[in-house]
Chain A
Amino acid sequence: GAVVSQHPSWVICKSGTSVKIECRSLDFQATTMFWYRQFPKQSLMLMATSNEGSKATYEQGVEKDKFLINHASLTLSTLTVTSAHPEDSSFYICSARGGLAGGPTDTQYFGPGTRLTVL
């Protein structure tokens, strides 16, 4: 249980284009999903928290107009990197809050990640 998928697993795009990454909770409903980015040999950096049906909450220093997050349903959140630049190249990972609320498994379950390369 608590399986999270991401699509695509990797993407290469040209500078200036937009890229959409999907995050799905496959066997549970997730009212809250999180988006992270990870640079090589570094830990995960939280970008934003998204709650179904409401606007995402962005961490300090993350441009909300550049990284658009939509959490339209209880099983799907999307991250769109707009006007991508080479410095946006990174590993993007989503997670979904799963498990029985308040119980011993109430935590974040991670997707496999999406590697974005901007040329």
Chain B
Amino acid sequence: QKEVEQDPGPLSVPEGAIVSLNCTYSNSAFQYFMWYRQYSRKGPELLMYTYSSGNKEDGRFTAQVDKSSKYISLFIRDSQPSDSATYLCAMSRAAGNKLTFGGGTRVLVKP
């Protein structure tokens, strides 16, 4: 069993819809949780960074962490075709430390 599980998708939504992504993990030592966006043939770009449980909002993006359930989520409101990419969750035990990635979810936002 992988330490971090993420549905590979693809997740196809119409433009303007809410995109809902999630990851589950097994290691309770993870304290820092991140979401990265990766376009094809590009490096990952940091979207959201959260420490411990709680919610964080940044523009159209909302990240949620539920450590009791070992479950994290990313919501994208008012999705745009430019949001079409692969979204990777990642987590670490300590800040700036080795990251454990989910497998990534491919998202397609159709005009």
- List the interface of chain A (C-beta within 8 A of B): 2, 4, 6, 32, 34, 42-44, 46, 49, 91, 93, 95, 97, 99, 101-113, 115
Q: How far is the CA of A106 from the CA of B93 in the complex (A)?
A: 12
Against A, the Cβ 8 Å flags (1 = close, 0 = not) of B87-111 are: 0100010011011011110000000
The CB with the most chain B CB atoms within 10 A, among A34, A44, A91, is that of A44
Q: How far is the CA of A46 from the CA of B104 in the complex (A)?
A: 15
The CB with the most chain B CB atoms within 10 A, among A4, A34, A106, is that of A106
Instruction: Return the contact of B98 from the options A2, A49, A102, A112 (Cβ within 8 A).
Output: A49
- List the interface of chain B (C-beta within 8 A of A): 32, 34, 36, 41-46, 49, 51, 88, 92, 95-96, 98-99, 101-104
Complex interface: chain B residues within 8 A of A109 (CB): 46
Q: Is the CB of A44 within 8 A of B101?
A: yes
Q: Is the CB of A107 within 8 A of B96?
A: yes
Instruction: Return the contact of B99 from the options A46, A91, A99, A104 (Cβ within 8 A).
Output: A46
Complex interface: chain B residues within 8 A of A95 (CB): 43
Q: How far is the CA of A42 from the CA of B6 in the complex (A)?
A: 12
Q: Is the CB of B101 within 8 A of A101?
A: no
Q: Is the CB of B99 within 8 A of A108?
A: yes
Instruction: Known A93-B44, A113-B41; judge A108-B96 contact (CB<8 A).
Output: yes
Q: Is the CB of A101 within 8 A of B95?
A: yes
Instruction: Known A91-B41, A93-B44, A104-B49; judge A110-B98 contact (CB<8 A).
Output: no
Q: Is the CB of B95 within 8 A of A110?
A: no
Q: Is the CB of A46 within 8 A of B41?
A: no
Instruction: Known A43-B104, A113-B43; judge A101-B51 contact (CB<8 A).
Output: no
Q: Shortest Cβ distance from B105 into chain A, in angstroms?
A: 10
Q: Shortest Cβ distance from B41 into chain A, in angstroms?
A: 7
